[in-house]
Every structure is written in C-alpha cells, then in structure tokens.
Amino acid sequence: MKDSLYLAWRYLRHHRAKTLLLVLSLSVFLGLPLVMRAMSRATQQSLLARAEATPLLLGKKGSSLDLVVEALYFQLKGAEPITEADVDAIHATGLALGIPIRTGLMARGFPLVGTSLDYFPFRRLRIAEGRGLAMIGDCILGAEAAKTLELGPGDTLLTSPSTLFDLAGVYPLKLQVVGVLEPTYGPDDKAVFVDVKTAWVAEGLGHGHQDLALAGPDVVLKRNEGTVTANAKLVQYNEITESNVDSFHFHGDPSGYPVSAAIVVPHDEKAGVLLRGRFVDAPTRQLVRPSQVVDSLNKQIFRFERVLQIVVWTVGLATAVMFVLVMVLSWRLRAEELRTMTRLGCSRWKAAQIMGSEIALMVGASVLIAGLFGIVMAQYGETWLQNLILRGS
Amino acid sequence: MWKGARAGTVVMVTALIPIVLGCSKEADPDRAPGSQETDSPTIYTVNYPLRYFAERMAPAGVRVVFPVSEGMDPAFWKPSAGAVRAYQAASLILLNGAGYARWTRYSTLPQARMVVTADGCRDGYLRTEQSVRHQHGPEGAHAHAELAFTTWLDLRLAACQASRIRDALIERVPNAKDSISAGFESLERDLLDLDERLQIVGNALGDQPLLGSHPVYPYLANAYGLSIQSLHLEPDQELSDDDWKTIDAILKQDRAKWMLWEAPPLEATEAGLLERGVTPIVFDPAGQTPSKGDFLSVMQANADRLECAAGVKLCP
C-alpha cells in the first residue's frame, strides 16, 4: 500500500499541471456548499443573537427592517427619527428602560452612535483602555475602530461633515477619545460612541460660543435690554473642553430633539406585553421585536441559500463528470504505461491500487483545501456577508 | 510520505470541526462601565438640602454623598471627570430640578438611576427676574439660570421633594419601607412646621417690600407672599458706587426696610444699609453644607430672624 501511494505521489508530482487543475476543480466543488452553509449559519446566528438580545425597539412607523438595521447594526439607512420625548415617555411608564440611539453621522468612516450610559451595561461592553463617557465631547471607540484609526485615550477624533460642499453647514466637532472597548466581534467594535447630547452638538442642534456679554463691538450686531445679537464673527467652538463646556447649550426644548430609535428594556415580561399593547394602534410610532424582524430576514436568506445550493450542486455534478472523464481518458492514455508495469511483474490489483491512490490523494488534497477555505470564510466571511446583506437590503 | 498523509488527515479533521460546530463569539457577561454596584447602596446628591432629606430617611447601610467641597456653590460647581464617574457609579442620583447644577446638563449620567426631585411638584418652575453675568467664588464667572432653582425655600415644595426621595428609596430598599416612611413623616412634620411659621411671617409682613441680595429667593417670596426685589450682591464683597446707586434708586421707589442676605454682609455694607434705614437679615438658603448645625437648624434660625423682623416673635 505504501509503495502504491509512493508511486501515485510521484506520478501526480510529475504531472503537476493536470493534478493542480483537478484538485482545484474538486476543491471548488467540495468547498462551495461547505462555505455557503458555514457563512449562512454564522451570519444568521450572529444577526439573531444581537436581535434576541434586544427585547424591543421603538421607532417611527415605517420599515421595521430599516429601523432594526439602523439601531442594531448602525448601518445608515436613514429611518425617520423619533424624539427624546419618546424615550422619556418610556421611562415615565415605569415599565421599561429606554436607551436612545442616534445614528447618522460618521467619524473617519466609522458610525457615530449617540446613546446613554445605560447602553454599555445593556450590551455588556467593557472598557479595555481608558474610562467611560463623563462629559459631552467625550467618545469611546469600538475595538476595531480604535485599531484601524490607531487611536487611544488622549487622542482626538473629528466627526465627518454631513455634507462636503455645504459651507454654511455644521462644522466637524473634535471629540476627545477617553476610552476603547474590549472586542465583542459585532457592530459595536466598529462604532464611535458618544453621549446623545454630543451627537446633537455634532449635528448642530447645540453649540458653544464666546460669551456675548463680554464680546466686543465688532462681534455684537445689536444690544437691546436683555438681548444681544451677534454677527457672523462670533467664535463658535469646534471642540468641547473643560474650559468651554459650560458655554455649550441647546436652543429650544431638547425633548424635541431627534433620536433614531430607542432600545426598550422592559422590567419584566408583563411590562413588555403591556408596552407592546400600548403601541399596537399608535399612529406614528412602532414598537417592534427585533428578533421577529431578523427572523423574517433570515428566512429570506435561507430561501436564497436553497436556490444557490441547487446551482452549486448542478455545477458540482458537472465537475464530477469532468473529473471522471479526465481520469478515464488519462487511463486510456496510460495504457502503454500499464502494460509496461504488468511486464515488469506488477499485478492488475497493484496497478488498480496505484490508480486508486492517485484519486485518493487528489480528493484528500481537495477536501483539505476546501476545509481550510471554509475556516477562513467562517472566520472573516461572516462580517463580509453581513455587510453585503445589510447594505444591499 | 505516509506520515505526511496522516498529518494531512488530522489537519483536515481538526479544520472541519469548527465549521460543523460553528464559530460563536460572545462578549463575557461582566460589569459594564458606569454600572459598578457596591455592596451597600450609595446615594449621590447635587446639593445639601437633598443630602439632608435623604439622610433623614435612609435606612442603615445606605451611604449618602454630597461631594461638593465647602466654599463652592453647588449650583455652579464644575465636576472633574472622576467626580462624574463617582456619580455614575451611585445607586441613586438625586437631582434638584429647575436647572439646578448646570453641570448635569453636559455630563453623562445614567438616566435610569436619576430622580429629579422637584419635577412635577408644582405646575411650573419660577423664573428669575433677570440674568446678569457676574463672578464670585472660585467657580468663576457665571450667569444665573433663567429658572429660579432654590426650590426648597418653599417648604411645601421641599416636602414634596422629600416624598420623591422616599419613593425612590422604597423602590431600591423595599424591605426598609417602614423605617423610610417613618423618617419621611418626621421630616415632613419638621418642614411643615417651618412652613407654618413662614406663612405667619408672610401674613404679618403683608405687602411690605424686601430686598434680596441675590436672586435666590423667588420660591420663598412666592410661597409666603413676600415682595422681594433681587439684586446681585455678594456678602463677602464690598459694594461699589454703582451698587449703592442701584440700591438708592430701588429705595426711592419701594421703601424697603429689610434686605435678605445669604450670609452676614461686611460691616461697611451693613453700616451703609442701616444708614439708609434698611436692616440686613440673614436668610441662608443652605444649598451648601452649613459650618454649624444642619438644614433644619439653619432654616429655623432663618425663620427666627424673619419672625423677629416681622414682629411675630420677640427679638432676642
């Protein structure tokens, strides 16, 4: 047996090109269904795990998938916002904890997520380096964001302008990086977390500027009793520091400020049922169970996977037929070689063993390549496919 | 060669196991930032009156902390990140409401553990007459908020704030409900006794105008029918010529006989006021921990002085 394997190995080495072609064809045939299955299961599990960990989600009435995608995965889908008053109303019911989520802005390619302090224990996020949020202007980086941007506590990070060519728009806000989160292998790793008030400042809803009472005449346009009107020379701060934090303020009632969604964490099951009942006929709001939304998304993925499987098996069958054909033709071409082996005293059984060993080695190599490819895809393909699905939906 | 083939098989089987089982990665369920629960509940307050109320009701083992050091006005205190983290770690954070403690607007605090004690205790908050930027003490220049925030000077409102603290305490320490309720009843009695005394003072003073050295008395005036015109004077600072001119102008319009001060004014200020027929009366709002006594004794002393001025009680 050992001799047969040796001869088969030498033969395959001698005909490298043919062997490589056959091994690769077989690898694709064996690997594709394996990879597809692994990736699909991993993605479904990952999507479902985050959704199941989020009991309820409050948002504006509309596409529930958009709402879930925006609030859970921080993908910019532009769902209509609700207001901070909605989050306060959830608290006021005494039935649940409301955690605001404000998305929409980016910071050097990573989503800026405005939320409350309650988000971190809720998602079981731990600080790896630095400290948690304390003041407006502070930000905490997800593990991957910190690694990619090469930033850590003490560094600063600029928010990206919402519109590049809008000169009159909101200027970027310089955020103080105060902490980095431990990796969670989920969307939190790629996010930049700030207090929801910081997100509003970054959006231009709140601002800080030099003291008008102390401003010179070149800055003041009009000074009436109790009212000072400044001109465009008024210095507005683009960074929140300990010395100017006191000057930051919001015009109007912050309870009317936008929040993309609110994670609703009922105190118990009964509270959850009561809350859901209250939103059944709500005209402008929806309270969804993310697990149901993601489950329906998963069913779509599963259907798509089945169609793909049929295609893959068809291609696989063609590959198998081609493999058999190549082997049969190869044996015909090697008829003279086999006759020589018989003349040298090799039995027919031994010749069959050598041929069988060749097939076994090629199939073995193909399984190994397909297995390794499967591991790589299971490791990194999940995020890739998740992004592909979420961005494409 | 055979060894190589065997090794390949082992690698292949090992490689396939995670695919079959699936690679699951989850964060360890552990404590999160800002959620450090200590063994005994800790209550953080933003001013001294709330600390006093909480201490009167808190069962044994509950720690009440008011971290603003003496000499600082808690309304305009600027905490460090470390101080904010201490608040974040508390089991309960008692806020006053009416925009008191401006720092809470720009700090990140856990909403689920915050109780705004004065919210909902009355239809709306009172507003200060004006907002002028000025400087006193180590916290630097500031302007008073548009909303008046010394809510506890209306003793009925203070009792309402105390009731909010009682509810929050019972929610967190339900097995100490009886002792918390008993503590509240005793505190409520003390506050309502004071309220009664100040009502009598208000009735006795009637429409007689008073001056207030600082715009911290709107709730006192509103609750007890006092007519107080506020200025922006500091007891530990000498009054400027402009200040005296302002006082003279006000006195021309309203012949006020008394002026309320947060602390005893400088001797020169007192003499100047007496010359103009105005008697300074100390009415300490007790926003900060008093150097002597407690909230109740400070308020009783305030009431004593007003009763003396109004002729309700004989002066010592």
Residue in A with minimal Cα distance to B140 = A243
Contacts of A134 in chain B (CB under 8 A): 81, 84-85, 88, 107-108
Element (H, E) at B242: helix B241-253
Task: Out of B30, B31, B109, name the one closest to residue A117 (CB).
Answer: B109
User: What's the alpha-carbon Rg for chain A, to the nearest Å?
Assistant: 31
From B15, B29, B142, residue closest to A124, measured CB to CB:
B29
**Any chain A CB within 8 A of the CB of B22?**
yes
Distance from CA of A186 to the nearest CA of B (A): 9
Structure tokens belonging to residue A393: 């939906």
Q: Which pLDDT belongs to residue B38?
A: 45
Q: Is the pLDDT of residue A242 over 90?
A: no
Is B9 part of the contact surface with chain A (CB cutoff 8 Å)?
yes
- As its CATH architecture, domain B42-125+142-182 has 3-Layer(aba) Sandwich (3.40)
Q: Distance from B254 to chain A by nearest Cα, in Å?
A: 22
* CA–CA dist B199, B7 (Å, integer): 94
User: A185 vs B25: CB contact, 8 Å cut-off?
Assistant: yes
Question: Which tokens belong to A78?
Answer: 């532009």
Residues 6 or more apart whose CB falls under 8 angstroms from that of B307 comprise B197, B200, B201, B313
CB of B27 within 8 Å of any CB in chain A? yes
Neighbours of B223 (CB within 10 A): 21
Alpha helices in A143-267 (DSSP H): 143-149, 196-203
Closest CA to B272 of B303, B253, B246: B246
Domain boundaries, chain B: 42-125+142-182, 191-310
| Whether B315 contacts chain A with CB within 8 A | no
Is residue A117 helix, strand or coil? Answer: coil
State residue B313's pLDDT score: 82
pLDDT band at B39 (very low <50, low <70, confident <90, very high): low
Smallest Cα distance from B133 to chain A, Å = 7
Give B11's contacts in chain A (Cβ within 8 Å): 368
- Residue A105, strand partner residues: A112
DSSP per position, A279-331: TTT-SSEEEE-HHHHHHHHHHHHHHHHHHHHHHHHHHHHHHHHHHHHHHHHHH
Close Cβ partners of B92 (under 8 Å, ≥ 6 residues apart): B41, B42, B43, B44, B113, B115, B168, B169, B172
pLDDT of residue B35: 38
Distance CA B127, CA B125 (A): 7
Whether pLDDT at A308 is above 90:
no
Q: pLDDT confidence of A393, banded at 50, 70, 90?
A: very low
Q: How far is CA A121 from the centre of its chain?
A: 20
Sign of the CA dihedral running B158, B164, B167, B172: negative
Instruction: Name the CATH code of domain B191-310 (choices 3.30.70.1230, 3.30.70.20, 3.40.50.1980, 1.10.357.140).
Output: 3.40.50.1980
- pLDDT of B143: 53
Most confidently modeled range among A19-33, A156-170, B23-37, B128-142: A19-33
Note the pTM of the prediction, 2 decimals. Answer: 0.74
Q: Give the gap in angstroms from C-alpha B212 to the nearest C-alpha of chain A.
A: 20
The DSSP output letter for A101 is E
Q: Mind listing the pLDDT tens digit for each residue in B245-270?
A: 999 998 888 788 999 999 999 999 99
Quick one: CA dihedral B38, B40, B43, B49, positive or negative?
Answer: negative
Contact B143 A213 (CB under 8 A): yes
Confirm or reject contact between B25 and chain A (CB < 8 A): yes
Average pLDDT on A252-261 reads 87
- A-B contacts (CB, under 8 Å): 147
Nearest to A77 by CA among A56, A101, A52: A101
What sign does the dihedral B206-B207-B210-B214 (CA atoms) show?
A: positive
pLDDT of amino acid B135: 46
Q: Per-residue confidence at A227, pLDDT binned at 50, 70, 90?
A: low
- Per-residue model confidence (pLDDT) at position B88: 94
Backbone φ/ψ region at B216: left (φ over 0), alpha (ψ -120 to 50), beta:
alpha
How far is CA B190 from its chain centroid?
Answer: 19
Closest CA to A371 of B19, B8, B3, B25: B19
DSSP A201: H
Q: Count CB atoms within 10 A of the CB of residue A315.
A: 13
Which residues numbered 61-80 in B keep a CB inside 8 Å of some CB on A?
A: 78
pLDDT tens column, B54-97? 999 999 999 999 999 888 899 989 898 899 999 999 999 999 99
Same topology, domains B42-125+142-182 and B191-310? Answer is yes
Test mutation, B108, B125, B130, B131, chain A, max A CBs within 10 A: B108
Which of A62, A112, A58 lies closest to A88 in space, CA to CA?
A58
Judging contacts by C-beta atoms under 8 Å, the chain A residues touching residue B18 are 375, 378
Q: Could you give the C-alpha distances from B202 to A100, A215, B219, B297, in angstroms and in order?
A: 46, 42, 13, 20
Residue A127: which of B33, B106, B110 has the nearest Cβ? B33
Q: How confident is the model at residue A78 (pLDDT cuts 50, 70, 90)?
A: low
**E-assigned strand segments in A51-162:** 56-60, 82-83, 96-107, 110-115, 127-130, 138-141, 156-158
Q: At what angle do helices B177-205 and B48-57 cross, to 10 degrees?
A: 130
Q: Is this prediction's ipTM beyond 0.90?
A: no
The whole-number pLDDT of residue A371 equals: 84
d(CA A358, CA A190): 48
CB contact under 8 A, A126 and B27: yes
Residues of A in contact with B23 (CB under 8 A): 42, 378-379
pLDDT value for A317: 85
In this complex, do B32 and A374 lie within 8 Å of one another by their Cβ atoms? no
- What's the pLDDT tens digit per position in A86-129? 999 998 888 999 999 999 889 999 999 999 999 999 999 999 99
Across the interface, do B32 and A378 touch by the CB < 8 Å criterion?
Answer: no
Q: Which residue in A has a C-alpha nearest to residue B5's C-alpha?
A: A361
Give the one of A6, A226, A364 whose C-beta lies nearest to B1's C-beta.
A6
Chain-chain contact of A184 with B31 (C-beta, under 8 angstroms): no
Cβ atoms of residues A264 and A276 within 8 Å = no
Mutating which of A47, A133, A138, A140 best tests the B interface, going by the most B Cβ atoms within 10 A? Answer: A133
Question: Predicted confidence band at B32 (pLDDT cuts at 50, 70, 90)?
Answer: very low
> Considering CB atoms only, which of B15, B23, B78 is closest to A372?
B15
- Which residue in the set A122, A131, A375 is minimally distant from B85, CB to CB? A131
Q: What pLDDT is stored for residue A312 in this prediction?
A: 78
pLDDT 10s digits, A141-157: 999 999 999 999 999 99
- The minimum CA-CA distance between A324 and chain B, rounded to whole Å, is 23
Which of A6, A12, A99, A135 has the highest number of chain B CBs within 10 A, making it the mutation to test binding with B? Answer: A135
- Which residues have CB under 8 Å from A141's CB, separation 6+? A110, A149, A151, A157, A177, A179, A180, A181, A192, A193
At B19, is the pLDDT very low, low, confident or very high (cuts 50, 70, 90)?
A: very low
Per residue in A178-219, pLDDT tens? 999 999 888 999 999 999 999 999 988 887 877 766 667 776
Interface check B130 vs A, CB under 8 A: yes
- Residue A157's Cβ-side half-sphere holds a number of Cα atoms within 13 Å equal to 33
Radius of gyration from C-alpha coordinates of chain B: 28
Per the DSSP assignment, residues forming a β-bridge with A111 are A106
What's the whole-number average pLDDT of chain A? Answer: 84
Which pLDDT value is given to residue B22? 33
Residues in chain A: 393
Q: Which two tokens stand for residue B281?
A: 């009366």
User: What is the DSSP secondary-structure string of B133-173?
Assistant: EEE-STT-EEE--SB---GGGSHHHHHHHHHHHHHHHHHH-
* Contact yes or no for B22 and A41 at CB 8 A: yes
List the beta bridge partners of residue A112: A105, A192
